[in-house]
């Protein structure tokens, strides 16, 4: 407990962040723990008085932290809980604490016969991260069911409630991406009550289930198919998996022009049109076309996964080496295909190699 009994972690504690991320990389920072969202205003007052804003960290599954660590305090979001409210005969509203596990939320929804997030099964992370990058997988994304976000606004120094429109959700992005203005505390969703899944819109899932696109099946069957697909790709975090130290997808599916899309189709790619209206090509196809191989070693402790075209860390890896390997991949893919890959994970801390990366477009603090 910090002085005054706020429920936060010990003041001044500086620990390695490596063990708090799925990559197992990153240097030290002063760490505070938030177990009750009602403690945040007191913490905010203390930090504001000394002129600092914290970096929020959930499960660390989509972040690359500098080897030198982070100068700002790191706030570990450890809140948990789900509030349930019926809003109609077949509609249910959930308000979920930001620190709640996303896999646990999906499991809860499936058990309660609530649909709309079932294809997010197996995605690591916390609920608070969902609106930040509009988490999505296999035809569903956070924007489909999100109703609002409750957050602490460090600029206005108060709690705010943002509607779905105000969150500015896009393809793996939002108003929150790349900004330390907000600490997300709660996320609201509205789900449909049904024993059948939402219509299946992702061809890989439909193929695995042996059905046509648009079909609806018992939710457990769809969840099982999604988990099986993720396991084949090494996208289910397993401690014993040699490809387990990863951040999932290192690069976003890249937006391309109409001319680029036609050229890429001629080379065998399959660009898709996304809900935001953009046409994008998968990073995996671009990396394979550029000559990268599964399991290929790129730097000491850094290699391509043996299961899919993403990067994983091994013994000897550092954040600098990981970032440098990713930047080299970006340059090579651009030279071969003319398409610029965008680095997806959040970059935290100062590292000269991070400057070489093409990160997700950052929004200015407001």
- Of 52, 60, 63, which Cα lies nearest the Cα of 78? 60
- Give me the sign of the Cα torsion angle 343, 348, 353, 354: positive
Residue the block writes with tokens 């090579």:
332
Token duo for residue 180: 């330390």
**What are the DSSP calls for 184-204, one per residue?**
EEEEEEEEEE-SBPSPP--HH
Determine whether 249 is an active site residue.
Answer: yes
Token duo for residue 305: 């996964």
Determine whether 262 is an active site residue.
Answer: no
Strand 28-34 relative to strand 14-16, pairing:
antiparallel
Determine whether 344 is an active site residue.
Answer: yes
CA distance 198 to 205: 12
- Cβ contact 327:302 at 8 Å: no
Token duo for residue 150: 């409750």
Q: Which regions of the chain does DSSP assign to beta strands (E)?
A: 14-16, 28-34, 55-57, 63-65, 74-77, 82-88, 91-97, 114-115, 136-137, 140-141, 146-153, 158-163, 182-193, 254-255, 272-273, 279-281, 297-299, 302-304, 311-313, 346-348
Active-site hit among 53, 164, 172, 245: 172
Three-state SS string over 216-276 comes to CCEHHHHHHHHHHHHHHCCCCCCCCCCCCCECCCCECCEECCHHHHHHHHHCCCCCEECCC
Active-site hit among 56, 249, 253, 305: 249
Active site residues: 172, 249, 344
């Amino acid at each position: 407990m910090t002085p005054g009994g706020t429920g936060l972690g010990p003041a001044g504690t500086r620990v390695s962040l490596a063990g708090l991320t799925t990559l197992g990389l990153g240097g030290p920072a002063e760490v505070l723990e938030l177990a009750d969202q009602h403690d945040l205003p007191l913490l905010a007052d203390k930090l504001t008085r000394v002129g600092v804003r914290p970096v929020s960290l959930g499960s660390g599954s989509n972040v690359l932290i500098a080897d030198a660590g982070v100068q700002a305090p790191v706030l570990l979001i450890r809140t948990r809980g789900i509030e349930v409210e019926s809003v109609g005969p077949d509609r249910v509203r959930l308000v979920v604490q930001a620190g709640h596990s996303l896999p646990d939320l999906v499991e809860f929804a499936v058990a309660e016969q609530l649909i709309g997030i079932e294809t997010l099964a197996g995605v690591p992370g916390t609920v608070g991260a969902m609106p930040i990058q509009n988490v999505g997988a296999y035809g569903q994304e956070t924007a489909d069911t999100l109703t609002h976000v409750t957050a602490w606004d460090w600029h206005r120094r108060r709690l705010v409630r943002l509607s779905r429109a105000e969150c500015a959700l896009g393809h793996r992005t939002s108003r929150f991406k790349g900004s330390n203005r907000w600490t997300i505390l709660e996320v609201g969703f509205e789900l449909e009550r049904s024993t059948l899944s939402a219509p299946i819109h992702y061809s890989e899932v439909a193929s695995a289930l042996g059905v046509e696109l648009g079909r609806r099946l018992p939710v457990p069957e769809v969840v099982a198919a999604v988990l099986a697909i993720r396991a084949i790709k090494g996208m289910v975090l397993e401690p014993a998996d040699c490809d387990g130290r990863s951040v999932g997808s290192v690069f976003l599916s890249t937006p391309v022009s109409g001319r680029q899309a036609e050229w890429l189709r001629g080379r065998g790619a399959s660009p898709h049109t996304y809900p935001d209206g953009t046409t994008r090509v998968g990073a995996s196809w671009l990396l394979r076309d550029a000559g990268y191989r599964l399991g290929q070693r790129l730097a000491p402790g850094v290699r391509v996964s043996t299961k899919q075209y993403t990067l994983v860390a091994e013994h000897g890896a550092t954040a600098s080496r990981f970032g440098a390997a990713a930047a080299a991949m970006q340059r090579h893919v651009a030279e071969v295909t003319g398409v610029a890959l965008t680095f997806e994970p959040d970059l935290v801390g100062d590292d000269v190699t991070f400057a070489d990366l093409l990160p997700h477009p950052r929004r200015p603090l407001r």
